[in-house]
Structure formats: structure tokens, C-alpha cells
Amino acid sequence: MKRFLAQWRQYFVFGAIFSFFLNLLGLTFPLYMLSLFNHVLQSRSVPTLVAVSIAAALAVITQGALDFIRSRLLVRASIAIDDTLSPDVLRTMLKQAAAPGSDQYAVGLRDVNTVRNFLTGTSIFAIFDMPWSPIYIALVFVLHPLLGWVGLSVAAVSIVLSILSDKVSRKPIEQANHLANAAQRLIGTAVQNSHAIQSMGMLPGVAEQWHKMNRLVVALQTRASKRAGLLQSIVKMLRQSIQMAMYGLGAYLAITNQASAGVMFASSVLMGKGLAPLDILISSLKNFIEARDAYHRLDKLFSAPPEPERMELPEPKGEVRAEAVSLAVGGRTLLHNVSFALAPGESMGLIGPSAAGKSTLAKVLLGIWPPSLGKVRLDGADIASWDSERLGPYLGYLPQDVELFAGTIADNIARLGPKDPDKIIDAAQKAGIHEMVLRMPKGYDTPIGPGGIALSGGQRQRIGLARAMYGNPKFIILDEPNASLDEEGEQALLRALAQLKEQGSTVILITHKASLLASVDKVLFLRDGQLLIFGPRDAVFQKLAEANMVRVQRVQ
């Protein structure tokens, strides 16, 4: 986070400079009061009153203009914070969320908003103004030491109370924020699985679980608010008391001819301006705690060292090699010592029982999950050495659970990037959905809603297949591509596989259906994360049949 703060430093430096002149001009009113009582009223001079009033008015107008410029400056800072921080936060969040065993939830962008609102809101003004508090109090001492000591004592008590308020509020607020994030994750999961929840009568259980979390959040927030509210009430009482004390003491000093009536009013105004930043900081203590926690979470998000700049490699041909690949997550071994090689244009069926590690191996081969041991090479280069954004167009991936995005069919096929109509139609034709899309209300411009809610499972899967084939990638992995397809869809899938072979793409097909493996060159049988057999398709099936490990016609 420090590198981002360095980029925004100029905004806050200029904000501090403007705050200096604003606070300097803030002396206008107490000086005006002193002039009125000490000079104008005593001299009864109208020209003096006019001159002093014009000077004060000009100062107030200048102060207003500077305050407007400062606010606009921080608006620009808000835009800069969002432009520089949000893209990196989103990119880092998605990378961490893709890691095996990750429970990363999308709180990072909310943290960006929290930090941005704090750094560009009234709280930051109070921080800019805080250095002037001792100056204002010192000026009260200049007017009269007794007035200064009264104000200083109240300022000290206010600081102690603000520190105490932070201590008594910090822990419950942190706990409340943690539980609130957990409750939000629960709601997000529930929304994603709303159909299952509704159909199986799970709504009361989900609601009760959320209510328990929410009650704890409310209880913790209430506890923190009660403690902070008590201290804030004491501070407000002190403020009113000090204002009365300043006027009373000023009146006494005026009566005893130790000070003028102007001193009484000016000291009260100066003390109010000196304590105002403290009041703002105390009242915005909750925002400060939330911003501090958000900053630490963002700092932790960026704690990993930045990825080094990678040299751009030539376009891959599709040679894939796994060298003793192993993956362990949370002490559990998901893959162990998996090695195989595919030449450019070869196809492989990846088979095995459920929970054998097939989908896990697919993610490792695509570079989504880095292996704990071993390497995955694409055209001889470690796939980790590729820049993912440069490598992406050469890869195709159809996961088991196809997720589409809000937008049009064309947007989803084009991977949310620049839309090339020729490539979109070519991918759709290869996936066998061109005619299906043309029959939709707006063709390729048909909006499908988030997650593809307007489509059937088979339609989503076939659009996902077209997305995987977009741009003729060199290496494609299809994970259970027929899971939601009917007979027509399977025939289209078989034609797509034939076209992939014809165009020279290296394909790995994960399936339980033997008919889809008729055209593959090789087969890898995986069980419990270990490679048991790898070789030409017919030879592998014969070995499996002889060992009674699988029946060829079913390919488990």
C-alpha cells in the first residue's frame, strides 16, 4: 500500500498547503471581534468599521474559495485512488481467489471504497487542521494565561477520552466487521444456490444461520456504540462547559479590567476552532477504525512481492509436458508425481473415478494452480513463466460449472474483450451454436443476464464451449463438456472435437463417456491423484479391461 500512498502524496501535500492558509484565514473572525470591541466601539469611527468589515469580508471570501479548491482537489484524489488502486485490487483478489483452498471473498473493493472515503472526506480535513489546534490554544494564552489553561485542560481531557474511546471500541468493531463479512459470504453463497435452497426447503435454516451471525454483529456494534457514545457525550458536555467557562471567565476578567470584552469573545472562538478537529476525529472514530482495518487488509492483500516483468515468449504451438507434478493443499495431497507429454495437435482423454484429481490436474496444467512440486511446460517453457494475460488467448478452458457473465452472447464468446465478429461467428459455428444464437431475439446481441439465467444448462455449456474455442487456441481443456448436453448437443460436441483436431489444437478431454473418447490419441487414467496408466487410447483401455479397473464401454 505504501507505493500507492506515494502516488497520491501530491494531492495531500497540496491539501495540507491549502489547509495552512485556510486556518490562517480562520483567524479572521476572532481578529474582527477584537477590532470591533477594542477599536471600533471605543473610537466610534464608522470609516474604521467599514475598513475592518471590508477586510474581514475579503478574507472570508478568500477562505471560501480556498475551501472549495481544497474540496475539489480531494475529489480528484478520490478519482486517482480508485483508478490506481481498484484494478490492482481486483486483479490480486481474483488471483488469490483462484488459489487452491482459498476462502478469499470480494471484500477488497469495499475496502478500497472505505479507504478512499476516509482519505477524501471530512476526517482528513480534521487531520490537516489538527496541527493548528495548539496554535489556536497558544493564541488564547496570549490573550490571557487563565483562559489558555482552561482551554488546554479541556483539550487534554478530550484527547484522553478519544484514545480511551478507540481502545474500548476497537475490539468489538473488529469482531463485528469479521462477522459481517462472514454473514455476507453466507448470503452470497445462498444467492448462488437459491434454486436448491428454495426447492429443498433450506430457506429457514439459511435464514436462522444468518440471523445468528447478524445478531452477534448488531450486539457487538451496539456495545461499541454504547461505549463510544458515552465518551462522546462526555466530550460534548465538556465542550459546552468550556464555552460557558470561557465566557464566564472572560466576563470576570473584563469586569476586573484584566481583559477587554473582545478578549472574551475572541478566546471563545479561538478555543472552539482549536477543539473542532478533535471533535471531528472523535465523532468519526468509527470511520477511522474501519479505514485503518481496511488499509491493513489491503496491505495484506498486496503483501506478496510483485511479479517480475516477464519476457514475451513466441506464440506456443501446443506441446504440453507435465514433469513430476504434485499438489498438496492443507496437508492433503491432491496430485502426486504426475508426468506425461503431448505433442502439438495431440488429444488426450483424462479419465478416472470421482475425486481422482482430474479437475485439479486441469487447473494445474492451465497454470491456474501452481504445483507444489514439479513443472508444467508449454512448448518447453514453464507455464508459470508466461504472463497470464498474454498466454490467455492461446488457451481454452471449459470448466465443469460454466459461469457466464452479464452481457450479450457475443460478449461472453469474446471473453469480455474486444469483439471480433469473424472470430465470434467462427467459434460459434465450431461449437454448433450459430443457428441456435440466430434464433434468439437479438441474435449475438441477446443479453443473457448474470450467470446466463436466461439460458438452459445445455445452452450455457455450448456457449462456454464456443468461448473456449474463441480465437483458435493452441491448448484446450474441456472438463465434462457433455454434462448438460442432449443428443444434438453431443453430436455438435463431437464435430467440435474433430475440428479442434483438424486445426492442430492440443486437447485434453475429461469425461466419463467412452463415446467422446473415440477420436483421442492418448488416455491418462488417474486415481487418488496418481497416474496409473498413460499411453495410446486402445492400449490403455485394454490394460484397464484386463485389470478389471474399468469397463471400456463405460470408462469410469
The per-residue pLDDT for range 278-292, each reduced to its tens digit, is 777 766 766 777 778
In the sheet with 320-329, reading across from the earlier edge strand, the strands are 381-382, 373-378, 320-329, 332-342, 530-536, 522-527, 347-351, 506-510, 475-479, 395-398
Tell whether the model's pLDDT for residue 272 goes beyond 80.
Answer: no
The CATH superfamily assigned to 320-546 is P-loop containing nucleotide triphosphate hydrolases (3.40.50.300)
- What contacts 513, CB < 8 A, 6 or more positions away? 482, 555
What predicted TM-score, i.e. pTM, was given to this entire model? 0.64
Tell whether the model's pLDDT for residue 552 goes beyond 50.
Answer: no
Cell of 334: 491432491
Q: What is the rounded CA–CA span in Å between residue 295 and residue 45? A: 57
Strands (E), 343-474: 347-351, 373-378, 381-382, 395-398
Which alpha helices (DSSP H) does 317-365 contain, by range? 358-365
- What contacts 548, CB < 8 A, 6 or more positions away? none
294: nearest Cα among 184, 383, 174, 120:
174
Q: Do residues 536 and 343 touch, judged by C-beta distance below 8 A?
A: no
* CA 267 to chain CA centroid, nearest Å: 47
Burial class, 215, CB count within 10 angstroms (exposed 0-12 / middle 13-18 / buried 19+): exposed
Provide the β-strand partners of residue 340.
322
Percentage of residues in the chain with pLDDT exceeding 90? 18
Tell whether the model's pLDDT for residue 198 goes beyond 60.
Answer: yes
Mean per-residue pLDDT, 7-35 = 81
Q: What is the rounded CA–CA span in Å between residue 230 and residue 264? A: 30
Least confident of 296-305, 441-450, 478-487: 296-305
Least confident of 105-109, 325-329, 487-491: 105-109
pLDDT in tens, 311-321: 677 888 989 99
- What contacts 198, CB < 8 A, 6 or more positions away? none
Q: How many residues does the chain have?
A: 556
Least confident of 53-67, 87-101, 372-386: 87-101
Residue 352, Ramachandran bin (φ over 0: left; ψ between -120 and 50: alpha; else beta): left
Q: Do residues 364 and 325 touch, judged by C-beta distance below 8 A?
A: yes
pLDDT at position 194, please?
67
- pLDDT band for 195, please (50, 70, 90 cuts): low
**Stronger pLDDT, 147 or 428, i.e. the higher one:** 428
Tell whether the model's pLDDT for residue 25 goes beyond 90.
Answer: no
Q: What is the rounded CA–CA span in Å between residue 179 and residue 357? A: 33
φ, ψ (nearest 5 deg) of residue 420: -100, 105
Per DSSP, the residues of 58-86 read HHHHHHHHHHHHHHHHHHHHHHHHHHHHH
**CATH number attached to the domain at 2-301:** 1.20.1560.10
- pLDDT band for 386, please (50, 70, 90 cuts): confident
pLDDT at position 44, please?
80
Which alpha helices (DSSP H) does 433-536 contain, by range? 434-438, 457-469, 487-502
Nearest 10 degrees: CA dihedral of 361, 304, 301, 165? Answer: 140
pLDDT at position 306, please?
61
Q: Where are the domains of the chain?
A: 2-301, 320-546
Mean per-residue pLDDT, 24-53 = 82
DSSP H/E element including 236: helix 203-255
Q: What is the rounded CA–CA span in Å between residue 503 and residue 426? A: 12
Least confident of 94-103, 232-241, 438-447, 478-487: 94-103
